[in-house]
């Protein structure tokens, strides 16, 4: 699905539909395509917004989870959104958590799927090996339950990132920032309705991470999806959308 990317000052974003804003935050290697099924489904009932996070555009000192949260906060202010349903996958979930902890006033609900913030298996033993296509392909396949979800297009995109030295440095900086920013002791401060959707076969943020979020966030409900990895909204969009729709319709 081709969408028109809008621009306001320094912010690039997608905005489709009308209604209460449903803001989607992608992960470290995420893109608009991660949310295409979600956008199509929810633009009938919500204003679906996907800000393009400046993963490689901030200076190295601001290439942190908090740096991205500040970017999201400025974007929300610039657009004047209120009554926001905030959803984040992976690193995007981590950014969403920090935002809710710092600026809860405009947020009506929070949805996390495969979120970092407590624990995650990073790229692992050796950070993106430059020039090793097979290594990148294997890592991409491990994101999903079904390795075929890691299309050649997706792997090529990741491989391109890992051949750029500055981008690799920023990926490492972000990953280290995510590990340092453990929110375990703050999650009990989140007072808004929170939905947790987890893949039962997620090896990046395994199921126990979803259970721990559920234990620590007071008004949270947790759903597991079988045969599903780290990006449920991509791998099992129909089930994901059903769970999210039921949650949003209660609010």
Over the chain, what is the mean pLDDT? 93
Q: What percent of the chain has pLDDT over 90?
A: 82
Q: Which residue has the higher pLDDT, 3 or 47?
A: 47
pLDDT of residue 121: 78
In tens, the pLDDT along 177-228 reads 998 999 999 999 999 999 999 999 999 999 999 999 999 999 999 999 999 9
pLDDT of residue 123: 46
Average pLDDT over residues 36-53: 97
| Angstrom distance (rounded) from CA 240 to CA 238 | 5
Which domains are assigned to the chain? 6-122+182-250 (3.40.50.1820)
Q: Which residues contact 26 (CB under 8 A, 6 or more apart)?
A: 32, 34, 35, 50, 53, 89, 90, 92
For 21, 206, 222, the CA distances from 198, given in Å and listed in that order, are 23, 8, 8
pLDDT at 1 over 70: no
Q: Which one, of 181, 45, 28, 192, lies nearest residue 110 by Cα? A: 192
pLDDT of residue 132: 86
pLDDT of residue 110: 98
Q: What percent of the chain has pLDDT over 70?
A: 96
In tens, the pLDDT along 100-114 reads 999 999 999 999 999
In tens, the pLDDT along 119-164 reads 887 644 445 556 689 988 998 999 999 999 999 999 999 899 888 9
| Angstrom distance (rounded) from CA 107 to CA 235 | 27
Entry pTM: 0.95
């Amino acid at each position: 699905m081709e969408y028109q990317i809008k621009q306001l000052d320094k912010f690039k974003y997608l905005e489709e539909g009308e209604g209460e804003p449903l803001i989607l935050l992608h992960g470290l290697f995420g893109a608009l395509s991660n949310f295409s099924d979600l956008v199509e489904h929810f633009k009938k009932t919500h204003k679906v917004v996907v800000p393009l996070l400046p993963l490689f555009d901030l200076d190295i000192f601001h290439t942190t989870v908090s740096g991205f949260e500040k970017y999201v906060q400025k974007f929300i202010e610039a657009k004047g959104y209120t009554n926001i349903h905030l959803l984040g996958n992976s690193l995007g979930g981590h950014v969403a958590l920090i935002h809710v902890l710092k600026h809860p006033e405009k947020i009506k609900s929070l949805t996390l799927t495969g979120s970092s913030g407590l624990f995650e298996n990073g790229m692992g033993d050796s950070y993106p090996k430059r020039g090793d296509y097979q290594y990148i392909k294997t890592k991409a396949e491990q994101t999903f339950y079904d390795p075929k979800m890691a299309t050649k297009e997706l792997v090529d995109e990741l491989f391109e990132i890992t051949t750029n030295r500055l981008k690799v440095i920023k990926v490492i900086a972000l990953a280290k920032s995510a590990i340092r920013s453990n929110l375990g002791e703050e999650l009990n401060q989140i007072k808004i309705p929170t939905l947790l959707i987890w893949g039962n076969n997620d090896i990046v943020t395994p199921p126990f991470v979803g259970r721990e979020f559920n234990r620590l966030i007071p008004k949270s409900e947790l759903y597991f999806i079988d045969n599903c990895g780290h990006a449920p909204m991509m791998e099992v969009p129909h089930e994901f959308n059903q769970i999210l729709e039921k949650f949003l319709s209660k609010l």
